[in-house]
Amino acid sequence: MADGVPATPPRNPQRSCAFSSPSGDAQTIDRLLAAKAQSGKTLHQIGIEAHITNSYCGQLFLRQTPLLSAAVAKRLRAAVPALTAEDVARMRVIPERGVADAAAGVKLEPVERRLREIVGQYAETVKMYVHEELGDGVMSAEDVWMSFEKAEGLSGEDRVVITFDGCFVPVIEQHSRRTRM
C-alpha cells in the first residue's frame, strides 16, 4: 500500500460481477470531474503530467477503467490537486462496465450518440480497410491515444477530425511448443 492506495484494484463490492452494467457511481464521477474542472486542465494536459494517454485519463475520470498504478495515482494527485485520497481510492476500484442502451431509457448526449452512429455505420468499412492496408488483425483497445482537430471542409464548413491511435495486433499462427508426429 503506497500513499494509502492498495497495490491492486479491489472489485466493486456492490456486485458479484464488476463488469455487468454501466458504472452507476454518479456522485464519484461528479466529484472527479469537479476536481478536474478545478484544475483548469484538459485531459491531454493531465495525461502528460501523469504520464498516461489522454484516453486513459478520460476513462479514469469517468470511472470506465480502474487506476492500476500507485505511481500514476501520485502523479494524478499532483496534476489535479483537488483529488482526495478517497477519490483516488475509488478510481482504483474496478468499475462496472456496459454499453448505454437507448431502449432501456439511457439517454445519450448528442456527440456521443453521433459517434456511436458513425462507428456502427462504418465499422465494417474500417475493418475491411484495416485488413487491406495492414493485414489480418485488430486495433487494440488498450493504450489508445486520441486527437481531435478542426478542419475546413470542401464547402468551407467546419469539420471535426478524430484520430484513434491504437496498437495493431496481427493475427498470428499459433504453434505448439510440443510437436506431435
Residues with active-site annotation: 114, 117, 140
Rounded CA gap, 119 and 110, in Å? 14
Cα dihedral sign for 73, 26, 63, 61? negative
Place of cell 456521443: 112
Nine cell digits for residue 33: 470531474
**Kind and range of the H or E run holding 5:** none
Rounded CA gap, 48 and 66, in Å? 18
Place of cell 483537488: 82
Beta bridge partners of 11: 94
